[in-house]
Amino acid sequence: MNAESEFVVETRGLRKSYGAVHAVKGVDFRLRAREVVGLLGDNGAGKTTLIRMISGAERPTSGDILLNGEKVSLRSPRDAMERGIETIHQYNSTVGNMTIAQNIFLGREPLGWKLGNFGILRKGEMRKASEDALGKVGFHLRSPDAIVSDLSGGQRQGVAIARALQFQANIMILDEPTNHISVKETNNVIRFTKELPERGYAGIFISHNLGHVFQTCSRVIVMSRGNIVADRATADITIEEIEGLL
Ligand SMILES: Nc1ncnc2c1ncn2[C@@H]1O[C@H](COP(=O)(O)OP(=O)(O)OP(=O)(O)O)[C@@H](O)[C@H]1O
Ligand SMILES: [Mg+2]
């Protein structure tokens, strides 16, 4: 048995190389329960690669990932989800030719329930749950039966967030969630991110917008060329200092 860990997520010497490209070079990253950390860094710094390993989308080249102090091997995004890690990816992962409700439940349909073979009750429950989840993030879309390819980029992002919210998780990873969305929708995402701790989540928030990061995160981690170059409480660092590290 492991002693109680202070960290819900910890990486030790985590590396990822793509041939000669060393995207993440031995990173020690730590996240506590109910803490939202801002992950910053220039284009290509390794932010997405790091969180893709934590969300099971990418296998590390070497190093360890620990969840609540326990070393884990995440073989797939589903593996990570089952351990309470939800991810909103930089490049939206909604499926265009399905409805909003189908997207929100994709891959997690209740047992005995198959796509194309919805029980009437299940379908009703899913529509209701989808509307509730969208409402919680402040996205009010026409109908949960709308086809996702008919939505705007920002609306699709709303569906991805609602999907992440719909399931019991304790870690929410948001990789540039405010890209391509309107001011109003951005404010919804910021509010949602700020509220993660009181909803019981820890969060990793990746953004190039330092204003958004300062509004939502209690700590910032700066990456440069595959390494962590700063790890500080938001209260102890200024935007100018961070800009100097990028
Ligand atoms: N699948 C891949 N194959 C080859 N190289 C990759 C792959 N994914 C990422 N890389 C490389 O790894 C490095 C880190 O990329 P990553 O996407 O993690 O950066 P990032 O910090 O998320 O940047 P951005 O802010 O632009 O999203 C880059 O040099 C990138 O080209
Ligand atoms: Mg990225």
Overall average pLDDT of the 8-24 stretch: 97
Closest C-alpha residue for ligand 1 atom 10: 23
- The strand ranges marked E within the chain are 7-18, 21-32, 36-41, 62-67, 70-72, 85-88, 171-175, 202-206, 219-224, 227-233
Nearest atom in ligand 1 to 90's CA: 27
Residue whose CA is closest, atom 11 of ligand 1? 23
Mean pLDDT, to the nearest integer, of 186-215? 92
Spell out a b/e string for 7-40, using b for 16 or more CB atoms within 10 Å of the CB, else e: bbbbbeebbbeeeeebbbbbbebbbebbbbbbbb
* Nearest 10 degrees: Cα torsion 116, 153, 40, 74: 10
Q: Is the CB of 59 under 6 A from ligand 1?
A: no
Ligand 1 pocket residue status of 24, Cβ below 6 Å: no
- What confidence tens digit (pLDDT) does each residue in 164-200 have? 877 778 999 999 988 777 888 788 889 889 999 998 9
* Ligand 1 within 6 A of CB of 41: yes
Given this model, what pLDDT does residue 115 score?
47
For residue 106, give both structure tokens.
């994709």
Please report, for the chain, the start and end positions of each structural domain, with discontinuous segments joined by +: 1-75+204-246
Instruction: Tell me, in angstroms, the distance from the centre of ligand 2 to residue 200's CA.
Output: 26
Spatial contact of 229 and 223, defined as CB atoms under 8 Å apart? yes
Looking at residues 127-136, what average pLDDT do you find?
86
* Cα 87 to ligand 1 centroid, rounded to whole Å: 17
Q: How far is CA 110 from CA 105, 120, 218, in A?
A: 9, 13, 36
Note the pLDDT of residue 169. Answer: 84
Tell me which of 166 and 121 has the higher pLDDT: 166
| Residue to mutate (ligand 1; options 29, 48, 205, 246; most atoms within 8 A of CB) | 48
pLDDT band with cut points at 50, 70 and 90 for residue 113: very low
CB of residue 115 inside a 6 A radius of ligand 1: no
Kindly state if the Cβ of 207 falls inside 6 Å of ligand 1.
Answer: no
* CATH homologous superfamily of 1-75+204-246: P-loop containing nucleotide triphosphate hydrolases (3.40.50.300)
Q: What does the alpha-carbon distance between residue 95 and residue 87 come to, in Å, rounded to a whole number? A: 15
For the chain, give the percent of residues with pLDDT over 70: 93
Q: How far apart are CA 237 and CA 230, in angstroms?
A: 10
Partner residues linked to 86 by β-bridges: 172
Which pTM value belongs to this model? 0.89
